[in-house]
Amino acid sequence: MLIKYFATFRDLTKENSLVLTDAPTNIAELLELLSVRYGAAFRAAVFENGELSSVMILLVNGRNVRITGGLATPVSPDDEVSVFPMVAGG
């Protein structure tokens, strides 16, 4: 599984990307695994009251997990996961 980090998530992780060879089965497991790797600041950025944070965008193979099942969205070893902060502008 390839995980790509963008903008502030690159700052939090100190990485542009990560390849996981022992992939979890869903987004909840993935985010828990990544929270252990990257620490409390990462956890606070991806979870909000036990749910996906409202200030992040998480895509699996280009599809937003908010419309594919949220934390229950399945993932597999061949997937590409992209992690973005919400962006606003004008």
Q: In the chain, what are the domain boundaries?
A: 2-85
Predicted pLDDT of residue 15:
97
Q: What is the mean pLDDT of residues 75-88?
A: 91
Rounded Cα distance, 61 and 11, in Å: 23
- 10-27 pLDDT, tens digit per residue, is 999 999 999 999 879 999
SS3 content of the chain, % helix, strand, coil (to 5): 35, 30, 35
**Beta-sheet strands, E only, within 14-79:** 17-19, 47-48, 51-52, 56-60, 63-64
Q: What is the second-level CATH architecture of the domain 2-85?
A: Roll (3.10)
Band of pLDDT at residue 89, cut at 50, 70 and 90:
low
Pick from 37, 42, 39: nearest CA to 58: 42
Residue 23 backbone dihedrals phi, psi, to 5 degrees? -80, 140
Predicted pLDDT of residue 23:
79
